[in-house]
Amino acid sequence: MSIITTVSTWIIPCIILLVLLVATWKKLPTYEIFVEGGKEGVKMAISLLPFLLGMMVAIAILRGSGAMEAFIAFISPVLTIFGIPSDIVPLAMIRPISGTAALSMTTDLIKAHGPDSFIGRLASTMQGSTDTTLYILTVYFGAVGIRRMGDALKVGLIADFIGIIASIVIVSIVFMN
Amino acid sequence: MVNLIWAGMAIIGIVYAMFNGTMENVNQALFESADDAVTISIGLISVLVFWLGLMRVAEKAGMLRVLTNFFKPMVTRLFPEIPKDHPAMGYILSNFTANLFGLGNAATPMGIKAMEEMKKISGSDKASRSMITFLVINTSSLTLIPTTVIAIRMQYDSQAPTEIVGTTILATLVTSITAIIVDRLFYLRRVRKNRQ
């Protein structure tokens, strides 16, 4: 574990060091290039704000009203038939939609069932192995002004579903004893 | 489709609240989330400015090209629309690398930059084939070490906090590969539709 922590604290400074050494060696005006490139960042952050705000407000309404919970309670028995444990269903449903909500759900599951239980391991694997599809879509498309998303959302959600199934199967096999 | 989902989430939520007496919570959630969105967007300025600045230096120094050359055989097959020496390739690879090492806040700026370069190629406001492939790979999360999850597990006294690294990598791998296959199938379906 200590190796992992060390690597993750060293990696960013080392990347910076490498980039600056190479650029300086090539006699580039490093500071000027950095500032020029950085300017774009401000513009991007501002342009994605409305996309992010719109999406987050809609999700908040759905969750705040209790409709989300009701839907999960409704669909839970159906998913149990497919072998998805009912404890994990809310996490599986929220993972593609809201990153912060998923993280707090994972924490709750680990707290309630213990990190080394089947549910604890499954929640850990699911949290780590997929990302917040809706957030990525909103941010990446929003920042560069893509309005027609094509099949992106559909393919992303299908991949999420496969990811959930894969996590369950893999955790069941690996920790079977 | 995104319009339907967006309006649908809000409409269902509000109508549900009407019949379940949760209008108060909806009001609260509404403005809290709007606040959060502003905080996140403004918060992104720092990482965006820093990483885009540094990446520009790396690009000018020719380092992105080195990275691209190294992974060329793999990526050109994934993104056949992108010309081999296009800067988009460099940013796509930087994004993948940052994701692999769990540098989430570096991955986002590079991903956005990659999108921008891909938009220059397609020149339209419609998601291109390579953009969809790129997004799908990103949403299936390319993590080697899920640091956040490990931290939570340690906090709750796990006997082996890192034991889920293997399952996570395996699950990520399966998801990414199937995601790429699903993406390809949808692409072929689009091509077939256009021909008719």
From the list B115, B172, B174, the residue facing A143 with the nearest CB is: B115
Interface test with B, best of A151, A158, A164, A172 (most B CBs within 10 A): A151
pLDDT of residue A4: 59
pLDDT of residue A30: 95
The SS3 call for residue A25 is helix
Distance CA B139, CA A41 (A): 22
Q: Are residues A33 and B60, on separate chains, in Cβ contact within 8 Å?
A: yes
Whether ipTM > 0.90 holds is: no
pLDDT of residue A3: 66
Q: Minimal Cα–Cα distance from B63 to chain A, Å? A: 8
pLDDT of residue A177: 58
> Residue A76 phi/psi, 5° resolution?
-50, -50
The answer to whether A177 and B175 have CB atoms below 8 angstroms apart is no
Cβ of residue A13 closer than 8 Å to a chain B Cβ? no
Residue numbers in chain A where pLDDT is lower than 50 = none
Residue with token string 């809290």: B32
Q: Domain limits at B161? A: 2-195
The SS3 call for residue A150 is coil
DSSP string, B83-140: -TT-HHHHHHHHHHHHHHTT-HHHHHHHHHHHHHHHHHHH-SSBPPHHHHHHHHHHHT
The answer to whether A151 and B186 have CB atoms below 8 angstroms apart is yes
DSSP annotation of A148 reads B
The SS3 call for residue A86 is coil
CA atoms within 13 A on the CB side of A72: 18
Q: Please choose, from the candidates B155, B149, B137, the residue with its C-alpha nearest in 3D space to the C-alpha of residue B96.
A: B137
pLDDT of residue A98: 82
10 Å CB burial of residue A83 (0-12, 13-18, 19+) is: exposed
Residue numbers in chain B where pLDDT is lower than 50 = none
pLDDT of residue B111: 92
Number of domains observed in the structure of chain B: 1
From the list A15, A55, A140, the residue facing B115 with the nearest CB is: A140
| Residue type present at position A160 | D
Buried-exposed string B48-70: b where 16+ CB fall within 10 A, e elsewhere: bbbbbbbbbbbbbbebbeebbee
